[in-house]
Structure 1
Amino acid sequence: MAKRTFSTFETFLIFLLVMMTGVTVALLSLLFITSGTIENNKDSGFLTTQSPPATQGSSTPQGSTLTQGPADTQGPTATQASPTPSTPEPTLFQNFSGYHIGVGRADCTGQVADINLMGYGKTGQNAQGILTRLYSRAFIMAEPDGSNRVVFVSIEIGMVSQRLRLEVLNRLQSKYGSLYRRDNVILSGTHTHSGPAGYFQYTTFVLASEGFSNRTFEYMVNGIMKSIEIAHTNMKPGKIFINKGNVDGAQINRSPTSYLWNPLSERARYSSNTDKEMLLLKMVDLNGDDLGLISWFAIHPVSMNNSNHLVNSDNMGYASYLFEQEKNKGYLPGQGPYVAAFASSNLGDVSPNTLGPSCINTGESCDNANSTCPIGGPSMCIAMGPGQDMFNSTQIIGRIIYEKAKELYASASQEVTGPLASAHQWVNMTDVTVWLNSTHTGKTCKPALGYSFAAGTIDGFGSLNFTQGTTVGDPFWDSLRDQILGKPSEEIKECQKPKPILLHTGELSKPNPWHPDIVDVQIITLGFFAIAAVPGEFTTMSGRRFREAIQEEFATYGMPNMTVVVSGLCNVYTHYITTYEEYQVK
């Protein structure tokens, strides 16, 4: 009997059938994961870290009501102002011109094994131990009579999830009544890519986390709560000083081609394609004794690359470690009264890997529009830090940041004075009308992830050899998506142009919504200083435009010369925010 042979077309059909079967099985497995496979039975044997005893005086958080999502996400609401606190508070000092200040720090490390690391979205990058502990650092600032107060919390995690924020707010309300609310409490992630995942409720991030971990979620919530409680307990009269200056040698733009698409006249106003400015708040008591600092600087904490398996706080965490060890002499790391937070800003296109991208197989540069190598493609194009390895690079970049903060801290002399205020608003980002000019408007739509998303960055490439800067879809991947998830609507494809849609997440709702539609934006002011809390990663130029827009708005209300800082990764995660020009090519 003659041997049966297959034509090229038949072979391709068989291959495609096998591929679709494999993808279907994988997605069904992931669907099972999203139902809560990492719920962590008490006897499961997961390796976890135990929080050390508090060294600043704290009480155990009371109660726990898990919140799945915002209770009022049916539509945006009016901006929430600051009501008079209903919880009785001790009379604060009234005969001084400064503020009432409290600082606190608490461990929020959580699991250090058997959990994925959050940031790179790399399958198999699971925690296998610990390099540094992770901390939540809280700062409470109140007017002398206690009528208004604001809270800023910098947390050494990838980003703040909506589920995490809502649970913290619920517990704060249970403990303090209306004293701490969604309008006057900012939660900001440092954006380390080496912290545990598993604390999200939206499907996209649950898949990236390889499930939800109630154990990690509780560690994070408890750590954040404890840091706020410590700050609340330790409040004392003090003063705040502000300073700013440029940091050199710590960052590069990892999307320089996209940056060049911004108008030449706009680029000419700046000396660099990254935001080099560090802004710092110095806090002291009335005797001039140090209390703490908050520093904002635009840099990705990705000195530790996606081959890392140790939980750690990366370069910004190392800067905090150095500053706190300097001020808390004689204390172990994570202990002592002084608290130094190095918070995130408009870091979307900023890398600490200052040697830039090169092909690891040939050594040639791959600093091109697609970040790809002639041999091996994008997976060979990786940016390197200044050190001998990622551990050394983390220390070098962290020390540069620390040294600049130390300089600014020592010379800070401009006092921040004036009333405190806070505001918060839910915004339905799928239905915002934007005036393009005096006669034309544009409208936002539901979220979607493009091909460039799957490509990753020069700091951590994607798993399937997608290419950055892709502006045309691929029939093979589009067909697989359509068969498994359904086709994206014409409306979302038209709205998202020129980005080719890989995953139309805004139109997917099983088993849960894949992306947030309604996000919260927030601003708090201390006299002439404003913190704009944003739920995502602004690029260098989009952050600059955002700051200027806020300053112009303040000026129309008779408040010119406001100092504005963009505080990133706050309250909920919405990926990257670019300029219109950058979006056309990225």
Structure 2
Amino acid sequence: MAKRCGFSGLEILLMVLFVAMTAVAVGFIAYTVTQQSSESRDQEPTPTPTPEVPAIPYLIGVGRADITGPVGDVPFMGYANLDQTAGGIHMRLYSRAFIVDDGSKRVLFVSADIGMVSQRLRLEVLRGLQAKYGDLYRQDNVVLSGTHTHSGLGGYFQYTLFMITSKGYIKSSIQIIVQGIVKSIERAHENLRPGRIFINKGELEESNLNRSPHSYMNNPEEERKRYNGNTDKQVVVLKFTDMDGDGIGMISWFAVHPVSMNSSNHMVSGDNLGYASYLFEQDKNIGSLPGRGPFVATFASSNLGDVSPNTRGPHCLNTGESCDYLNSSCPIGGTKMCVAFGPGNNMFESTRIIGENIFKKSKELYSSTKQEVRGPIHFAHQWLNMSDITIQINSTHTAKTCKPALGHSFAGGTIDGGGALNFTQGAVEGDPFWDGIRDAILGPPSNETQDCHRPKPILFSTGEMNWPLPWHPVIVDVQLITIGSVAIVAIPGEVTTMSGRRIREAVKKELESSHAFANTEVVIAGLCNIYTHYITTYEEYQIQRYEAASTIYGPHTLSAYIQSYRGLARAIAEGTEAELPKGPEPPFFTDSQLFSLLPLNPVDKTPDNSSFGEVLEQVDPVYTVGQVASVTFVAGNPRNSGDMTDKTFVTVEKLHNSTQTWSVVHTDASWETRFHWIKGTSGLSNATVEWHIPQSAQSGFYRIRHFGHYKEFRNLKPVFTAYEGVSDVFKVNKRIYY
């Protein structure tokens, strides 16, 4: 048998096919790897690791303190309705402070649950800070902003118009606010630690409505086309963390009026923005009672001047029909019958819905933020005489601001709170009847002031009214702070949507003229440092709706502010902030010059054969989650309790069967409780406490307690005595048993 020394034809064919297939496979793999490598170079995937830690971190401090004040008899600040006085608590009010230090400069931003920051309030806070910290916190690096809740206490102004609409200067009210703001700053100062800041922004729909669309439409068409709507939908969030990435605080800005709680409300409330803060802090401070815990979240005001939360729009109360588009009035009942509603069926539900919307969007942005804020801190500040500013309109023309004055439409109110009598929005002519009464009592406006304010028909020429004190301020703060690429413009009033856009654009352009600023995020912080009513565009001013009638320095008010803020931004961009002229300082009137129209509260009395704290209407023995437990006590005036900051008029307590002890599950700061104080006659009053039992409530036994003080005279001197009352024990079930 012969030996094989070669390969058959079939074997050779198979070997060739194997080599060829291997070559193809290797080539395909090489091609695939090459393509993937090429694509990865062209389109790098976004990495998700923690951003690089800056070489020199910021020092960051956050703090919160109670500023609720005396919740009986004191008028609210917002609707200018003397009948809307405090009678209990829906939610407690807080000041929230944020300090940022870059190693060489420091800024402080405070957002407080109040109607607005008044000049008097700012001056007293700065005096308190000066006494404690010297020159560390000053008018140029401290921004005080009000959330603009219309359900906070008044009485903290030093100008006559505001004192008249809040029954004067009420020391017990302003002292609590000043002390609370200073305490929130102290806590932030004590908590300073190395940390980081991140920024994020997004759009929130169906949570705000332009309440003066006719005015907005008078802005140039080409300008309006640059924006998606007649309100700003943008939410801007600053996230503060420690160096380990753990959150310590948050600021959110969104343009909406906190007027979900309407003028019929008598319980102190933070309204929709206050509720958003409540939700965020409760979410982060798990297990803490409201107002407690280390995490601080504030929802600050922005360019909300013409923005309502009442998204179902204005309708006539008596007919259900839509109000007149031009002047927001009804055929029968006028402006008082024209009221905006929604989105809920009552003010509490509307507050909840809007607050939840803002909270959820802000939480989403907070959780997803990746863009870190880095860079040095700057600040610039000036005082301006806003009644006498010359504005360069163009290369050949100038204009001037005016002495303060309010127009007829100021008395017409808005769809969030209509005026009385026969005043309407959109009035460009005076009314002989009311003008005659004004002239007889106050004297007519000067020709100069009338000419300066045209087409506004002047109702009150407040800049020419100085008895017993000036009726309006003329010395006004303008201020700008920057933290890295974030610029916060402190606006001394309520700026409309388009006015805010113009200010943002002007500041951004001026800052970015310097190579030190790029991709700057400019935020409008409203109602800061001093209150000067509204700021509309020149075009909106011509329509003379409420916002324009309340633009007190005339048609060129916005132009004057833009000119001033551009100057501040230019100084920061060029590093010449220290060279800015300070301007004329504002007055600080002595207590003896101020007046109060709030009478002393009378001696408290009880019904026959009863005592303070005794139950008048008892709770039911059994409730189910979703129901309301209610109890009514014999009460004293809450004003008798003095400083109740960080305390409570109400507790809801749960029994622990194993130890037979009680623990507090809710206070009067809780969303779930409502403390109604009802004033009777001849010193009699009572307090009704409601607990809206949440679905999260555990089954078990509960009780409601009420704390207060009553006033009596002993040896001709007032004496305030503490009392407390407690309901029967009642059971809460998770579901109904049959």
After TM superposition, the score normalised by the length of structure 1 is 0.83
Q: Does 1:98 align with 2:69?
A: no
Q: 1:124 aligns with which of 75, 80, 83?
A: 83
Look up the match of 2:543.
Answer: 585
Q: Distance in 1 between matches of 2:325 and 2:177?
A: 39
Q: Once the two structures are superposed, what CA deviation does each residue of 1:473-499 show, in whole Å capped at 9, x if it has no partner?
A: 001111111111111100000000000
Q: Once the two structures are superposed, what CA deviation does each residue of 1:427-453 show, in whole Å capped at 9, x if it has no partner?
A: 111111111111000011101001111
Q: CA deviation at 1:96?
A: 3.8
Q: Distance in 2 between matches of 1:426 and 1:183?
A: 10
Which residue type is aligned with residue 244 of structure 1? K
Which residue type is aligned with residue 522 of structure 2? V
Look up the match of 1:58.
Answer: none
Look up the match of 2:112.
Answer: 155
Q: Does 1:142 align with 2:106?
A: no
Q: Distance in 1 between matches of 2:80 and 2:184?
A: 28
Q: CA deviation at 1:562?
A: 1.6
Q: Distance in 1 between matches of 2:419 and 2:369?
A: 43
Q: Does 1:492 align with 2:449?
A: yes
Look up the match of 1:57.
Answer: none
Query: The residue matched to 1:556 in structure 2 has which SS?
Result: coil
Q: Distance in 2 between matches of 1:462 and 1:497?
A: 22
Structure 1 556/382 Cα, relative in aligned 2: closer, same or farther at 3 Å?
same
Look up the match of 2:532.
Answer: 574
Q: Does 1:199 align with 2:156?
A: yes
Q: Distance in 1 between matches of 2:322 and 2:187?
A: 49
Deviating 4+ runs (over 6 angstroms): none
Q: CA deviation at 1:95?
A: 8.4
- Count of matched residue pairs: 491
Q: 1:175 aligns with which of 127, 132, 136?
A: 132
Which residue type is aligned with residue 106 of structure 1? A
Look up the match of 2:67.
Answer: 108
Query: The residue matched to 2:99 in structure 1 has which SS?
Result: strand
Q: Does 1:565 align with 2:542?
A: no
Query: The residue matched to 1:341 in structure 2 has which SS?
Result: strand
Look up the match of 2:390.
Answer: 433
Q: CA deviation at 1:566?
A: 0.6
Look up the match of 1:34.
Answer: none
Look up the match of 1:481.
Answer: 438
Q: Does 1:317 align with 2:268?
A: no
Look up the match of 1:226.
Answer: 183
Q: CA deviation at 1:106?
A: 0.2
Q: Distance in 2 between matches of 1:215 and 1:113?
A: 11
Q: Does 1:211 align with 2:168?
A: yes
Compare 371-380 and 314-323 and name the one that shifted more.
371-380
Q: Distance in 2 between matches of 1:345 and 1:103?
A: 21
Look up the match of 1:241.
Answer: 198
Q: Once the two structures are superposed, what CA deviation does each residue of 1:369-403 show, in whole Å capped at 9, x if it has no partner?
A: 10011222111110001112101100000000000
Native 8 Å contact 1:535 1:574 kept in 2: yes
Look up the match of 1:298.
Answer: 255
Listed as ranges, the gaps of 5+ residues in structure 2 are 1-52, 545-738
Native 8 Å contact 2:307 2:497 kept in 1: yes
Q: Distance in 2 between matches of 1:216 and 1:173?
A: 21
Which residue type is aligned with residue 576 of structure 1? Y
Q: Once the two structures are superposed, what CA deviation does each residue of 1:205-252 show, in whole Å capped at 9, x if it has no partner?
A: 001112111000100000000000000001111100000011111100
Q: Distance in 1 between matches of 2:371 and 2:505?
A: 21
Q: CA deviation at 1:367?
A: 5.1
Native 8 Å contact 1:97 1:417 kept in 2: no
Q: Distance in 2 between matches of 1:197 and 1:178?
A: 29
Q: Distance in 2 between matches of 1:206 and 1:96?
A: 51
Native 8 Å contact 2:324 2:330 kept in 1: no
Q: 2:355 aligns with which of 386, 395, 398?
A: 398
Native 8 Å contact 1:521 1:535 kept in 2: yes
Native 8 Å contact 1:101 1:141 kept in 2: yes
Q: CA deviation at 1:405?
A: 0.2
Q: Distance in 2 between matches of 1:192 and 1:230?
A: 24
Native 8 Å contact 1:436 1:442 kept in 2: yes
Q: Distance in 2 between matches of 1:231 and 1:367?
A: 49
Look up the match of 1:449.
Answer: 406
Higher strand share: 2
Native 8 Å contact 1:356 1:367 kept in 2: no
Q: Does 1:462 align with 2:419?
A: yes
Which residue type is aligned with residue 537 of structure 2? T
Q: CA deviation at 1:518?
A: 0.9
Native 8 Å contact 2:250 2:298 kept in 1: yes
Look up the match of 1:382.
Answer: 339
How large is the Cα RMSD of the aligned pairs? 1.1
Q: Once the two structures are superposed, what CA deviation does each residue of 1:279-308 show, in whole Å capped at 9, x if it has no partner?
A: 110000001111000011100000001111
Native 8 Å contact 2:335 2:420 kept in 1: no
Q: Distance in 2 between matches of 1:177 and 1:210?
A: 34
Q: CA deviation at 1:128?
A: 1.0
Q: CA deviation at 1:463?
A: 2.5
Q: 2:492 aligns with which of 529, 535, 546?
A: 535
Q: CA deviation at 1:254?
A: 0.2
Query: The residue matched to 2:75 in structure 1 has which SS?
Result: strand
Structure 1 95/437 Cα, relative in aligned 2: closer, same or farther at 3 Å?
closer
Native 8 Å contact 1:243 1:279 kept in 2: yes
Q: Does 1:332 align with 2:289?
A: yes
Look up the match of 1:547.
Answer: 504
Q: Does 1:344 align with 2:301?
A: yes
Q: Distance in 1 between matches of 2:247 and 2:423?
A: 49
Q: 2:92 aligns with which of 128, 133, 137?
A: 133
Listed as ranges, the gaps of 5+ residues in structure 1 are 1-93
Q: CA deviation at 1:560?
A: 4.0
Q: Once the two structures are superposed, what CA deviation does each residue of 1:119-153 show, in whole Å capped at 9, x if it has no partner?
A: 0001211111111100000000001x3x2110000
Q: Distance in 1 between matches of 2:55 and 2:125?
A: 32
Compare 560-569 and 252-261 and name the one that shifted more.
560-569
Which residue type is aligned with residue 532 of structure 1? V
Q: Distance in 1 between matches of 2:54 and 2:186?
A: 25
Q: Distance in 2 between matches of 1:370 and 1:98?
A: 53
Q: Distance in 2 between matches of 1:356 and 1:286?
A: 46
Q: Does 1:281 align with 2:238?
A: yes
Q: CA deviation at 1:324?
A: 0.2
Look up the match of 1:416.
Answer: 373
Native 8 Å contact 1:131 1:311 kept in 2: yes
Look up the match of 1:359.
Answer: 316
Q: Does 1:268 align with 2:225?
A: yes
Q: Distance in 1 between matches of 2:80 and 2:207?
A: 24
Query: The residue matched to 1:229 in structure 2 has which SS?
Result: helix
Look up the match of 1:257.
Answer: 214
Compare 224-233 and 549-558 and name the one that shifted more.
549-558
Q: Distance in 2 between matches of 1:453 and 1:482?
A: 18
Q: Distance in 2 between matches of 1:538 and 1:280?
A: 20
Q: Once the two structures are superposed, what CA deviation does each residue of 1:490-514 show, in whole Å capped at 9, x if it has no partner?
A: 0000000000000000111000000
Look up the match of 2:480.
Answer: 523
Q: Distance in 2 between matches of 1:449 and 1:122?
A: 17
Report 1 or 2 for greater relative contact order, CA contacts < 8 Å, sequence distance ≥ 6. 1
Native 8 Å contact 1:122 1:463 kept in 2: no
Q: CA deviation at 1:466?
A: 1.1
Which residue type is aligned with residue 131 of structure 1? H
